[in-house]
Amino acid sequence: MAGIEKVPAPRSGAHTVIGSSIVIDGEISGDEDLVIQGTVKGRISLRESLFVEGSGVIEADIETANVEVSGQVTGNIAASDKVELKADCKVVGDIRAPRILIADGALFKGNVDMDVKETKGK
């Protein structure tokens, strides 16, 4: 296991890949990591990590454990663990997660809520 974090190589463990020419209009749910290089509209709910790569375009509400965005996301993101907006990503929507990282160069418009555990009852 060569563990260089920022290279896409470690994602070989991901079982599901939505390739760059794929367009999905609807709902995706599952219990495993998901890599998106194509376009998804609708809703995504996972119990693991979601990776939106540079070519990925998402117009959907997202509910997962982890999200890593290098592409474009329009929609609300709710993560139980972490949301990471990488450089060159474009995100429009609200983010709710205990840990939120926004890298230099990322474009983001929306509300951020890191107070997830306390306000869970609301």
Cβ-based burial of 25 (10 A; exposed 0-12, middle 13-18, buried ≥19): exposed
Residue 11 near another protein by CB under 8 A? yes
Query: Residue from 1, 2, 4, 31 that binds another protein (CB under 8 A)?
Result: 31
Q: Which is nearer to another protein, 86 or 96 (CB)?
A: 86
Q: Which of residues 70-89 bind another protein (CB under 8 A)?
A: none
Q: Which residue from 118, 52, 114 is spatially nearest to 81, judged by alpha carbons?
A: 114
Is residue 82 within 8 Å of residue 101, measured between CB atoms? yes
Rg for the chain, CA atoms, rounded: 14
Give the single-character DSSP code of 48: S
Shortest reach from residue 122's CB to another protein, in Å = 29
Give the one residue of 34, 67, 69, 79 binding another protein; rule: CB under 8 A: 34
Residues that bind another protein (CB under 8 A): 8-9, 11-12, 14-35, 37-38, 42
